[in-house]
């Protein structure tokens, strides 16, 4: 591993636990928490699917999602679909969608995608993961939702 890569990694790890303070023009301040992760998994026998969503809390806006990671097990054809979406739980109403990411050409293995999606501070926010394997015959699917935050 190159020295510059090691130093960059050490700088990132060294600052990961710090709290960021932002002061706006009006004098109000906002703070951001350390990164947290929501995760889950499901299976459509014998294939597995798991995922995680990295986020931090920013008191000025809410939960800011920065990275989606997913793992596809089993076999996957050339048109395997993955969708990852952020929602607000609206109890007895339709949940509000805040944004997401998807592909129709996912492969077996672990992949990550950088995102910037904000879930409002006043809402209970969750992430929904969904996969449909592209296989001969019926295309199995599975999905899961993370806990509400």
The pLDDT, as a whole number, for residue 20 is 27
The pLDDT, as a whole number, for residue 26 is 37
User: Residue 39 has which token pair?
Assistant: 């995760």
Domain membership of residue 104 as a residue range:
31-145
Would residue 55 count as lying in a domain?
yes
Would residue 122 count as lying in a domain?
yes
Are residues 69 and 112 in contact, defined by beta-carbon separation less than 8 angstroms?
yes
Number of structural domains found in the chain: 1
Would residue 12 count as lying in a domain?
no
Would residue 23 count as lying in a domain?
no
SS3 call for 86? strand
Mean pLDDT, consecutive 10-residue stretches, the chain (149 aa), reads 36 32 36 85 85 90 94 86 97 96 94 96 95 88 95
The pLDDT, as a whole number, for residue 59 is 77
Would residue 118 count as lying in a domain?
yes
The pLDDT, as a whole number, for residue 103 is 95
SS3 call for 5? helix
The pLDDT, as a whole number, for residue 100 is 98
Q: What global pTM score does this model have?
A: 0.76
Helix (H) or strand (E) holding 14: helix 3-15
Going from the C-alpha of 59 to that of each of 22, 30, 33, the distances in angstroms are 10, 5, 9
Would residue 114 count as lying in a domain?
yes
Q: Which residue is it, tokens 């899961």?
A: 144
């Amino acid at each position: 591993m190159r020295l510059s890569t090691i130093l960059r990694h050490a700088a990132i790890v060294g600052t990961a636990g710090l709290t960021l303070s932002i002061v706006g023009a009006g004098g109000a301040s906002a703070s951001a928490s350390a990164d947290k992760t929501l995760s889950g998994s499901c299976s459509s026998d014998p294939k597995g699917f798991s995922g995680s969503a990295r986020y931090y809390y920013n008191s000025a806006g809410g939960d800011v999602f920065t990275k989606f990671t997913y793992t596809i097990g089993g076999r996957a054809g050339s048109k395997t679909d993955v969708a990852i979406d952020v929602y607000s739980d609206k109890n007895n109403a339709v949940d509000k969608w805040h944004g997401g990411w998807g592909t129709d050409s996912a492969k077996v293995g672990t992949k990550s995608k950088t995102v910037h999606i904000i879930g409002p501070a006043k809402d209970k926010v969750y992430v929904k993961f969904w996969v449909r394997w592209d296989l001969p015959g019926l295309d199995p699917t599975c999905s899961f939702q993370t806990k509400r935050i």
